[in-house]
Amino acid sequence: MNDKKLIITGLIVFLLIVLFPFWYNRGKAVPPPEVKLTDKAKAAKECVLSKEYMRAEHMQILDLWRETVVREGNRIYTNPKGKDFVMSLSNTCLDCHSNKADFCDKCHNYASVRPYCWDCHVEPPKEKS
């Protein structure tokens, strides 16, 4: 064991490099995004389902909607409160949430999620503000 010095120096350098990002970014957590609601969405008070459910599980409901509309041809979703919605991403969801950049994209970018909805579905025209 004549390489003791070398090994220990190597280990220290290795640890320094590996831990550098943690040390460098300590105390600088990126604040979680805050989505902006449009006036229309605010006025409606509640989305299709509860806010908590929509925040965590909107992808589930979108998947259900796409499946039923495309494959079964059923287009009306009645929520537990008895309100009817036409199941459509572009025409129903984005009718209220017409601020895609401040609503969809903000969280998706933060979570590094890249849904490919907009490759086909038409996004609302950019809002002037």
Partner 1 sequence: MDTSRRRILQLLGLSAAALAAPPVLDALAAGPPAAEPKIGPAKGALTAKQWAMLIDTRKFKSEADIEPLVEACHTIHNVPKIDFKRWEIKWLWAAEYQHAFSGTTSLRFIADEVAHRPYLVLCNHCENPPCVRACPTKATFKRPSDGIVMMDFHRCIGCRFCMAACPFGARSFNYRDPRPFIKETNKLFPTRMKGVVEKCNFCSERLAEGKLPACVEASGGKLKFGDLFDEGSEVRKLIQTNFTIRRKVNLGTEPAVYYIV
**Binding positions for partner 1, rule: CB under 8 A:** 49, 66, 68, 70-82, 86-87, 90-91, 116, 119-122, 124
Nearest CB to partner 1, comparing residues 33 and 95: 95
**Of residues 9 and 50, the one with the C-beta less far from partner 1:** 50
Q: What angle do CA 117, 129, 95 make, to 5 degrees?
A: 40
Enumerate residues 6+ apart whose C-beta is below 8 A from 107.
33, 35, 113
20 or 67: whose CB is closer to partner 1? 67
Report the distance separating Cα 28 and Cα 21, nearest Å. Answer: 11
The CB-of-23 to partner 1 minimum distance in angstroms stands at: 43
